[in-house]
């Protein structure tokens, strides 16, 4: 725990438990990378991320400005899973159920081709488990054109809200429905690429995405 | 368009169209607020947001540090809708379909009680259309304990990726399935608060959330 990961507001919702933090990072597909630009202003960019052991990896074009700004500088990477809408009897107690992680640290450019390749494999396998064995692997040229940035999973905190609304006791008598409406990300039917060559079936690991999310 | 909202990487995916920007902000429930802390490091916090005309409103406890840091300082608020996974034949062309908005500007504390109330009403109505008429409205005390911050919708850009994978032409002959798996946020069955008084039915505007998202 550091000054930055100290849980100030509603500390009961917070956690520094490594398993909790890893589970949120592993489930969230998108995260938001915050860097400070040359003028000292914040810039927040959506990105895919993947955790491999003790590090979180991001990638992008070698020309990507935000990734360049993340190298050797302090960043904040935040991943959020929206789990539900919380409907209270009082307007002010409406809320959202969510799980989020804030990861602080300095980004480091990954130079080693093997580590870059393993990070990209882990990302593809995170998005679509079983996919890597089927795809054309990155060429040397593609790897050179890709920037992979690593953030150590050392300074992080999770924040979680779950469960029913918390109304003030006197409001419990109001004739107003209260409760939670859960939200989850659902995968739809696979849509084949219009250029798909005839006779190529959709693999089971792709159709499984819809089942896994429902 | 400013230096910050100039679309550098893949400008074909970008837009400064006001209607496009508003539609993304209005559909996204969660956004990520980036501020710079006292040490000059970025901090990115998930938050609910609502657009009312020419402004985007955030709220939180009056003691919320990130909201305080957003006042009279430059912030970046980014909202992202994840629309699908893009499965290419080549590992490097895997991608995500998404729509995102980055909004830059200085946050301003809303002092006017009427404007605060209207922003909170707009937020509740955005999350659950039809809800406001049923709930206990904020008291003076609750309003005072709540900080509402406004960002002008003046300096923003959208970025959108949609459609099938874009593989290199020679890879089209590979015997690998390619296509898109759409993703959407789905609302589940309403779960009543355990404290709900007997005889209170779940209103139609709540059950409608599941239908609207499917």
Rounded to a whole number of angstroms, the distance between the first and last alpha carbons of chain B is: 36
The closest of A181, A30, A136, A77 to B209, measured between CA atoms, is A181
For A183, the token pair is 């939200």
pLDDT at A213: 53
Summarize pLDDT for B107-118 with one digit per residue, the tens. Answer: 999 999 999 999
Rounded Cα distance, B90 and B165, in Å: 10
Contact A138 B42 (CB under 8 A): no
Give the H/E segment covering residue B69.
helix B65-70
Chain segment B90-132, per-residue pLDDT in tens? 999 999 999 999 999 999 999 999 999 999 999 999 999 999 9
Residue ranges of chain A with pLDDT lower than 70? 211-214
DSSP annotation string for A181-197: EEEEEEEEEEEE-TTPP
pLDDT score recorded for residue A214: 38
pTM, to two decimals? 0.95
Q: How far is CA A133 from the centre of its chain?
A: 24
Sign of CA dihedral A201, A202, A208, A210: negative
How distant is the Cα of B35 from the closest Cα of chain A, in angstroms?
6
- Specify the 3-state DSSP secondary structure of A100: strand
Could you tell me if A79 and A28 are in contact, meaning their C-beta atoms sit under 8 angstroms apart?
yes
Please give the C-alpha separations between residue A151 and each of A42, A155, B23, in angstroms, as whole numbers: 18, 10, 33
How far away is chain B from the Cα of A73, in angstroms, using its nearest Cα?
Answer: 9
Decide if B54 contacts B152 (C-beta within 8 A): yes
List, in sequence order, the alpha helices (H) in chain A: 18-27, 65-70, 113-127, 140-144, 204-213
Q: Give CATH superfamily name and number for B11-183.
A: Electron Transport, Fmn-binding Protein; Chain A (2.30.110.10)
Q: Do A34 and B181 lie within an 8 Å CB cutoff?
A: no
| Yes or no, beta carbons of A134 and B176 under 8 Å apart | yes
Closest approach of B204 to chain A, Cα-based (Å): 11
More confident residue, B185 or B4: B185
Residue pointed to by tokens 């700004």? A69
Residue spans of beta strands (DSSP E) within chain A: 14-15, 30-36, 42-48, 50-52, 55-61, 74-87, 95-106, 108-109, 146-152, 155-161, 179-192
In chain B, residues with a C-beta closer than 8 Å to the C-beta of A191 are 164, 179-182
What's the pLDDT at B12?
A: 77
Distances (CA, A) of B189 to A86, A175, B127, B206: 13, 21, 16, 9
Chain A residues with CB-CB distance to B181 below 8 A: 128, 187-188, 190-191, 206, 209-210
Residue A148 forms contact with B (CB below 8 Å): no
B108-109: strand order across its sheet: B50-52, B55-61, B146-152, B108-109
The token duo for A74 is: 């302090």
- Spell out which residues of chain B touch residue A102, defining contact as CB-CB under 8 Å: 43-45
CATH architecture label of A11-167: Roll (2.30)
Question: Where do the H-state alpha helices sit in B99-189?
Answer: 113-127, 140-144
Q: How far apart are CA A146 and CA A137, in angstroms?
A: 13
pLDDT, tens digit, for every residue of B133-178?
999 999 999 999 999 999 999 999 999 999 999 999 999 999 999 9
The domain limits of chain B are 11-183, 186-214
Measured distance CA(B116)–CA(B3) in Å, rounded: 32
B37 — contact with chain A (CB < 8 Å)?
Answer: yes
Torsion-angle region of B130 (φ positive above 0: left; ψ -120 to 50: alpha; else: beta): left
Backbone angles phi, psi at B142, to 5 degrees: -65, -40
CA distance B1 to B14: 12
Interface of A with B in 163-192 (CB under 8 A): 164-165, 167, 171-192
In a mutational test of the A interface, the residue from B28, B68, B177, B208 whose CB has the highest number of chain A CBs within 10 Å is B177
> Is residue B43 less than 8 Å (CB to CB) from chain A?
yes
Digit-coded pLDDT (tens) for B32-77: 999 999 999 999 999 999 999 999 999 999 888 899 999 989 999 9
pLDDT score, position B10:
76
Calpha distance B52→B156 (Å, rounded): 15
Over pLDDT 90: what percentage of chain B?
A: 87
In this complex, which of B138, B165, B194 lies closest to A92 when CB atoms are compared? B138
Q: Which residue has the tokens 């890879």?
A: B171
Q: Which residues, 6 or more positions from B55, have their beta carbon under 8 angstroms from its beta carbon? A: B150, B151, B152, B153
CB contact under 8 A, B43 and A134: no
């Amino acid at each position: 725990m550091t000054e930055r990961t100290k849980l100030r507001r509603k500390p009961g919702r917070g956690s520094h438990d490594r398993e909790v933090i890893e589970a949120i990072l592993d489930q969230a597909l998108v995260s938001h990378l915050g860097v400070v630009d040359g003028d000292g202003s914040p810039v927040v960019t959506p990105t895919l991320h993947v955790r491999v052991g003790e590090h979180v990896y991001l990638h992008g074009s070698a020309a990507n400005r935000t990734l360049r700004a993340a190298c050797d500088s302090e960043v904040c990477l935040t991943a959020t899973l929206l789990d539900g809408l919380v409907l209270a009897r009082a307007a002010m107690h409406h809320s959202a159920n969510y799980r989020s992680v804030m990861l602080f640290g300095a980004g480091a450019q990954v130079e080693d081709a093997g580590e870059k390749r393993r990070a990209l494999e882990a990302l593809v396998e995170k998005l679509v488990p079983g996919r890597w064995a089927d795809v054309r692997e990155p060429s040397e040229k593609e790897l050179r054109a890709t920037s992979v940035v690593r953030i150590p999973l050392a300074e992080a905190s999770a924040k979680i809200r779950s469960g029913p609304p918390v109304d003030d006791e006197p409001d419990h008598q109001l004739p107003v429905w209260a409760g939670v409406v859960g939200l989850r990300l659902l995968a739809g039917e696979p849509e084949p690429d219009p250029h798909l060559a005839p006779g190529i079936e959709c693999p089971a690991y792709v159709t499984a995405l819809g089942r896994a999310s429902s």
